[in-house]
């Protein structure tokens, strides 16, 4: 093996043959033609789709002129304008009504603005609470009457017993004074 100290020069490459160059140019030309054909087809397809989706505006024939009605004007000195006003009607007299005792209204028999006669019932008060209080007071009164009657009977017995000396005069006086209270 021998080593040379000289650098080696690259070998010159051979020129491609004429047939090869022609074949290469034909391939480039075919690729370009194919690309152009695809582009033209895409443009034509898109144009067809756009024209199919677009709305065609048909020009109509000119419509005949419209007829117009006319009015003869007349001069006037004045004219009326209708006017509406908002307001509230107030009565000439007013009355303040109420109940002697407070409570809840059970019924209102008239409305505002109705005409009423003297003695007419305008409203009813819910008297359930008052009725219960009245019953309670009557029961308390009956209990007091019964207590007084018992006290009077007891006083009479104690007087009778004191007269026969079966009870002290002190006891008879106490029962008699309970009746007075």
- Write the Ramachandran bin of 44: left for phi over 0, alpha for psi from -120 to 50, otherwise beta: alpha
36 found inside a domain: yes
CA 123 to chain CA mean position, Å = 34
Domain-embedded: residue 164? yes
Per residue in 87-121, pLDDT tens? 887 877 777 777 777 778 888 898 888 888 888 88
Residue 144 in domain: yes
The answer to which of 55-59, 116-120, 145-149, 152-156 has the lowest mean pLDDT is 55-59
Look at residue 151 and tell me if it is in a domain. Answer: yes
Six token digits for residue 69: 């009605």
In a domain, 77, yes or no: no
Does a structural domain hold residue 44? yes
Predicted pLDDT at 118: 85
* The pLDDT value given to residue 33: 94
- pLDDT above 60: residue 164: yes
User: What's the domain range around 134?
Assistant: 105-110+121-180
pLDDT at 41: 94
Mean pLDDT, rounded, for 174-181 = 74
* Domain final position from 31, 53, 75: 53
Cα–Cα distances in Å, from 75 out to 78, 82, 147? Answer: 9, 20, 103
**Over 60: is that where the pLDDT of 141 sits?**
yes
> Comparing 125 with 94, which gets the higher pLDDT?
125
| pLDDT digits 0-9 by tens, 7-63 | 666 565 656 688 888 888 999 999 999 999 999 999 999 888 888 777 665 556 777
* Position 96 in a domain: no
**What dihedral angle (degrees, nearest 10) is formed by the CA atoms of 174, 176, 178, 181?**
-130
The answer to whether 139 touches 125, Cβ cutoff 8 Å, is no
62, part of any domain = no
How does DSSP assign 102-157, residue by residue? ---EEEE---TT----TT---EEE--HHHHHHHHHHHHHHHHHHHHHHHHHHHHHH
The pLDDT value given to residue 171: 79
- Tally of domains within the chain: 2
CA distances (Å), origin 137, targets 124, 132, 141, 163 = 23, 9, 6, 39
> Model confidence at 66, in pLDDT bands (50, 70, 90)?
confident
Q: What is the C-alpha R_g of the chain? A: 64
d(CA 131, CA 65): 89
């Amino acid at each position: 093996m021998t080593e040379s100290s000289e650098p080696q020069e690259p070998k010159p490459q051979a020129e491609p043959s004429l047939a090869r160059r022609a074949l290469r140019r034909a391939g480039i030309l075919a690729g370009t033609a194919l690309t152009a054909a695809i582009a033209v087809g895409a443009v034509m397809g898109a144009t067809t789709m756009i024209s199919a989706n677009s709305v065609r505006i048909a020009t109509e024939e000119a419509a005949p002129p419209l007829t117009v009605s006319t009015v003869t004007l007349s001069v006037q000195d004045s004219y009326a304008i209708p006017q509406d006003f908002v307001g509230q009607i107030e009565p000439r007299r007013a009355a303040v009504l109420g109940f002697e005792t407070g409570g809840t209204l059970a019924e209102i028999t008239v409305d505002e603005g109705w005409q009423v006669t003297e003695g007419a019932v305008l409203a009813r008060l819910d008297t359930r609470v008052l009725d219960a209080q009245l019953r309670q007071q009557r029961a308390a009164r009956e209990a007091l009457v019964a207590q007084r009657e018992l006290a009077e009977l007891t006083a009479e017995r104690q007087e009778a017993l004191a007269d026969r000396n079966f009870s002290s005069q002190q006891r008879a006086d106490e029962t008699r004074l309970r009746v007075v209270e």
